[in-house]
């Protein structure tokens, strides 16, 4: 089996999700740049790439931080509380009265 097939077979989900995330980040970069230019022109301010990149990365990391906390919280909650009927849940023994 070729090396590329091995990588695709074992890591295809990570490759696809990373590709989609990068595409959306590039689209956000482009649309945000267009919006930044319009806003700067409206206020007759200088258009500076460094200022925009600082703003862009600030927004990206704020969003990633909130998403990461949601995933960590969900993993923590689901590790403690399990859904009844799922393969991971342990059914409580029937209580006899």
**Predicted local confidence at residue 97, as pLDDT:** 46
Residues spanned by the domain of 16: 3-80
Inter-residue long-range contacts of 10-17, CB under 8 Å, 24+ positions, other chains counted: none
Domain contains 91: no
Inside any domain, residue 71? yes
Distance in angstroms (rounded) separating the CA atoms of residues 36 and 39: 5
Q: Average pLDDT, stretch 62-85?
A: 78
- For residue 2, what pLDDT is reported? 92
Domain count, the chain: 1
Q: What is the mean pLDDT of the chain?
A: 84
Over residues 59-77, the mean pLDDT reads: 84
Asked whether residue 38 is assigned to any structural domain, the reply reads yes
Structural domain contains residue 23: yes
Q: In the prediction, which pLDDT does 55 show?
A: 95
Residue 33 has pLDDT above 80, yes or no: yes
Is position 18 within any domain?
yes
Question: What pLDDT score does 17 carry?
Answer: 86
């Amino acid at each position: 089996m070729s090396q590329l097939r091995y990588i695709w077979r074992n890591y295809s989900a990570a490759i696809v999700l990373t590709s989609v995330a990068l595409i959306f980040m590039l689209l956000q970069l482009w649309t945000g740049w267009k919006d930044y230019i319009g806003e700067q022109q409206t206020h007759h301010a200088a258009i500076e790439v460094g200022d925009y990149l600082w703003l862009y990365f600030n927004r990206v990391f704020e969003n990633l931080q909130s998403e990461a906390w949601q995933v960590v919280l969900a993993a923590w909650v689901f590790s403690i509380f399990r859904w009844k009927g799922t393969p991971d849940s342990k059914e409580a023994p029937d209580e006899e009265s």
